[in-house]
């Protein structure tokens, strides 16, 4: 209890020192309170920009608050742009913990000392972050690996700091006039779940395994293999990857890497993850990306750190693809209609008004190179427009927005002339053709075929049973009959479609053959 009280005092001291009250209380329902507090602390200097003061305060409060700032930096739908851009600069500047603690953690998790588990183990870590640190090692079969070890005592520290954040969020919700839109309780709850997910390293290992499987047959992205015999919730062992950090442009040029191709490959990787797989690496900042210079995989991206991934269902992918293609075609009416059809905008929203607002936001981005466009500014204006029309930004798309901004930054580094939209448009059009064209229909028929082969032989018996008890006042049988009739109608529609399609195809083929013969006679 004493430690919690001391921690609370430190948080209050840092808040006062950096003038966080001035940031928070500017939206109070009772503005006089803010003036009184500012008068009481007349001695402090809070002339620096508010975003800078907030970032410095979070860095002083430690790794959990740094993580919280990083999460806030993704919420451009909630946080003012000047604060978001400053929070995006937050880095996990955390000193490594003692190697003896790492060795003890490995021994507890894997059941033996690293010196017996591995042919060699480097005691000095190569990387350290707020949640874990990484040591290099070599397996007994000679394979080079990276050993990621969870920082000891993290769960207790997270629980204590997040509990204080929940209390603060509750007070902000009561006092802040703009709290209904900013949703402080929901933001802290999202952060709480995110942190506790990161505490289970098996989740990260599973994410990496899924991403590796998704790109196993491609030539764009490399993902380290996980060695499951050496993995637990607090220790994971993965293939060691060799490459040049993507941010080191001069080294990439010296190695002969084609930067323009690399930039377009990054866009293709992003859209492949989103629209083909619905599963994407959501922490694609330059620190987590290498470029291979091995002759066998030269020029491919290497992904690292899979603690944060995003998932999209079929509805999300369909909605996003429609919106992206409508943007590419400057069909802002379709964008507005898609928002209303999806239920994200109220049904009473006027299409023409939303269309006009979206056009004003997005028209400036087209026919210009990426170096002249700030997608952060565009997103901010879109979010402001969304709020004006009471559009709720969907939680599952927040990570996608963050990842898109990371892609923007990466593209600017590699190829300032890259046009993100023109690069992505052909890929999206092909994907849409596969989904809504003949190929997409055939794929869906293939997917449904096992179900029909199971149901069709049973239909006569089930129909007979249902009809034999149709006169009985039994709600269960009535419901069964309705289900069977609906299934029969669905089957009839499918059979009719196949018959009509086959007939039309045959007639068309015969007609084409007749025309060709007729032309031959002429």
Q: Per residue, what are the HEC states of 242-279?
A: CCEECCCHHHHHHCCCCHHHHHHHHHHHHHHHHHHHCE
Grade residue 15 by pLDDT with cuts at 50, 70 and 90. Answer: confident
Grade residue 16 by pLDDT with cuts at 50, 70 and 90. Answer: confident
Q: What are the binding residues?
A: 126-134, 148
Residues 6 or more apart whose CB falls under 8 angstroms from that of 88 comprise 73
Given this model, what pLDDT does residue 111 score? Answer: 93
Token digits for 135? 């040591």
Once rounded to an integer, what is the mean pLDDT over residues 474-488? Answer: 61
Q: Is 364 exposed, middle or buried (0-12, 13-18, 19+ CB in 10 A)?
A: middle
- Give the three-class secondary structure for 477: helix
Given this model, what pLDDT does residue 182 score? Answer: 57
**How much of the chain, in percent, has pLDDT values that exceed 70?**
66
- For the chain, the straight-line distance linking the first and the last C-alpha, in angstroms and rounded, comes to 100
Catalytic residue among 21, 77, 161, 283: 283
- Give the three-class secondary structure for 280: strand
Tell me the pLDDT tens digit for each residue of 340-363. Answer: 777 667 788 888 888 888 888 777
CA distance 332 to 217: 37
Nearest to 451 by CA among 481, 491, 499, 496: 491
Backbone phi and psi for residue 38, each to the nearest 5 degrees, phi listed first: -65, -35
Q: What are the binding residues for ATP?
A: 126-134, 148
Given this model, what pLDDT does residue 82 score? Answer: 77
- Domains, the chain, ranges and CATH? 1-92+155-197 (no CATH), 99-152+200-310 (3.30.200.20), 312-439 (no CATH)
Tell me the pLDDT tens digit for each residue of 30-84. Answer: 555 556 666 666 567 777 888 888 888 888 887 778 877 777 776 665 667 778 7
Given this model, what pLDDT does residue 521 score? Answer: 47
Given this model, what pLDDT does residue 184 score? Answer: 72
Tell me the pLDDT tens digit for each residue of 367-400. Answer: 666 556 665 556 556 666 666 777 666 656 667 7
Given this model, what pLDDT does residue 520 score? Answer: 53
Given this model, what pLDDT does residue 451 score? Answer: 64
User: Is 265 marked active-site?
Assistant: no
CA distance 457 to 286: 56
Grade residue 199 by pLDDT with cuts at 50, 70 and 90. Answer: confident
Tell me the pLDDT tens digit for each residue of 420-456. Answer: 767 777 777 777 676 655 665 666 566 666 666 666 6
Tell me the pLDDT tens digit for each residue of 299-341. Answer: 999 999 898 888 888 777 777 777 777 777 788 888 888 877 7
Q: Is the pLDDT of residue 190 over 80?
A: no
Once rounded to an integer, what is the mean pLDDT over residues 157-169? Answer: 79
Name which residue leads in pLDDT, 143 or 128: 143
Once rounded to an integer, what is the mean pLDDT over residues 204-227? Answer: 94
- Angle, to 10 degrees, between the axis of helix 351-362 and the axis of helix 332-341? 120
Q: Is the pLDDT of residue 29 over 60?
A: no
Contact 22, 51 (CB under 8 A): no
């Amino acid at each position: 209890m004493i430690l919690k009280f001391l921690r609370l005092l430190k948080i209050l001291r840092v808040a006062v020192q950096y003038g966080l009250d001035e940031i928070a209380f500017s939206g109070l329902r009772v503005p006089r309170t803010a003036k009184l507090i500012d008068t009481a602390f007349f001695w402090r200097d809070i002339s620096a920009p508010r975003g800078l003061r907030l970032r410095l305060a979070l860095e002083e409060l430690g790794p959990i608050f740094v993580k919280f700032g990083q999460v806030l930096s993704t919420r451009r739908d909630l946080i003012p742009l000047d604060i978001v851009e400053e929070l995006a600069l937050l880095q996990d500047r955390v000193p490594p913990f003692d190697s003896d603690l790492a060795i003890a953690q490995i021994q507890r998790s894997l059941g033996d000392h690293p010196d017996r588990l591995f042919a060699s183990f480097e005691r000095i870590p190569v990387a350290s972050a707020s949640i874990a640190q990484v040591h290099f090692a070599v397996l007994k079969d000679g394979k080079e690996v990276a050993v990621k070890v969870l920082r000891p005592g993290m769960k207790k520290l997270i629980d204590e700091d997040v509990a204080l954040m929940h209390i603060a969020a509750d007070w902000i919700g009561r006092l802040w006039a703009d709290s209904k839109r900013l949703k402080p309780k929901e933001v802290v709850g999202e952060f709480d779940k995110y942190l506790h997910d990161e505490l289970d390293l098996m989740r990260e290992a599973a994410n990496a395994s899924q991403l590796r499987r998704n790109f196993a047959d491609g030539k764009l992205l490399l993902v380290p293999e996980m060695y499951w015999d050496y993995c637990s919730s607090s220790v994971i062992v993965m293939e060691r990857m060799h490459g040049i950090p993507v941010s080191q442009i001069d080294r990439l040029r010296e190695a002969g890497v084609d930067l323009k191709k690399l930039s377009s490959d990054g866009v293709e990787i992003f859209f492949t993850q989103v629209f083909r797989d619905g599963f994407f690496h959501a922490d694609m900042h330059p620190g987590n990306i290498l470029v291979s210079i091995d002759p066998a995989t030269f020029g491919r991206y290497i992904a690292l750190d899979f603690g944060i991934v995003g998932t999209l269902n079929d509805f999300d992918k369909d909605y996003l693809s429609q919106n992206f293609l409508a943007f590419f075609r400057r069909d802002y009416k379709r964008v507005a209609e898609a928002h209303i059809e999806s239920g994200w905008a109220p049904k009473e929203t006027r299409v023409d008004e939303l269309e006009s607002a979206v056009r004003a936001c997005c028209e400036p981005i087209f026919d210009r190179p990426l170096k002249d466009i700030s997608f952060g500014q565009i997103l901010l204006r879109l979010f402001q427009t969304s709020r004006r029309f009471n559009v709720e930004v969907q939680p599952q798309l927040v990570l996608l927005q963050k990842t898109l901004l990371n892609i923007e930054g990466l593209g600017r580094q590699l190829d300032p002339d890259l046009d993100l939209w023109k690069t992505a448009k052909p890929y999206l059009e092909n994907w849409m053709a596969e989904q809504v064209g003949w190929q997409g229909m055939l794929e869906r028929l293939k997917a449904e075929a096992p179900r029909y082969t199971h149901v069709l032989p049973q239909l006569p018996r089930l129909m007979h049973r249902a009809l034999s008890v149709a006169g009985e006042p039994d709600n269960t049988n009535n419901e069964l009959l309705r289900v069977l009739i609906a299934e029969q109608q669905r089957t009839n529609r499918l059979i009719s479609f196949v018959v009509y399609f086959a007939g039309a195809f045959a007639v068309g083929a015969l007609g084409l053959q007749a025309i060709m013969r007729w032309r031959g006679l002429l």
